Structures are given as C-alpha cells and as structure tokens.
Amino acid sequence: AQSVSQHNHHVILSEAASLELGCNYSYGGTVNLFWYVQYPGQHLQLLLKYFSGDPLVKGIKGFEAEFIKSKFSFNLRKPSVQWSDTAEYFCAVTPHTGRRALTFGSGTRLQVQP
C-alpha cells in the first residue's frame, strides 16, 4: 500500500517569503499526485495535480510543484506567499492501477504573518 509523508507539520512565514513544502510518497508503481488546500472554514480544494508529462506543474494562485521520480517527491513551492495563503496543505497520491482512492499525508499548517 502507498503512503505519503509531509515532514513540515507547521510552517510560519512572513509575507513575501518563499515557500517550499515537502512531500514524499512510497509506492513502487506509477502514481498520480495532488496537492489540496483547506482554507480556514472552507472546503478542501485542489491546488494542482500531476498525471504525466512535464514534471513541473503549475496550479492556482501561483503555486507550483515538481515531481522528482528518483526521489519519490512532489514538493510544493510558491516564490512569494501572501497572508491569504494561510491554510492547511495536504499532499495526496493514488496509483494508476488498483485502488484509486487518495492516500493523504498528515498535512502542513501554513501561517503567513503580515
């Protein structure tokens, strides 16, 4: 079975700082990768996703993530965070075959200070 690790549990940044959130997964086969975001009091929503092709994917609100297959990683980045990026971020994975339900990491709480 696959698993996902998010090593940063709580990150505090000042506005305009750069962001990188780590995500590593364990699975031997081909995977689809996702980052979801949950703003305070709101639904979980998709930030970006990787299926195949260009390993650098761009999502909403200036976020991007890079899939590095050799490292089993899918780190989330943003060059300059805003106060409105304060949220909880979840990395998720699903294999191309077999059970297609998402496996989530434990989440990273991002707090951006004005």
Q: Using the rule CB under 8 A, give the single segment among 15-23, 36-44, 62-70, 74-82 that binds another protein.
A: 36-44
Binding status of residue 70 toward another protein by CB under 8 A: no
d(CA 72, CA 109) in angstroms, rounded, equals 22
- Nearest residue to 61 via CA among 40, 75, 82: 82
| Nearest CA-CA partner of 105 in 71, 73, 60 | 73
**Under rule CB under 8 A, residue 59 binds another protein:** no
Q: Is 7 in the site for another protein (CB under 8 A)?
A: no
CB 2 within 8 A of CB 102: no
Which residues of this chain interact with another protein, rule CB under 8 A?
Answer: 4, 6, 9, 32, 34, 36, 42-46, 49, 51, 90, 92, 94, 96, 99-107
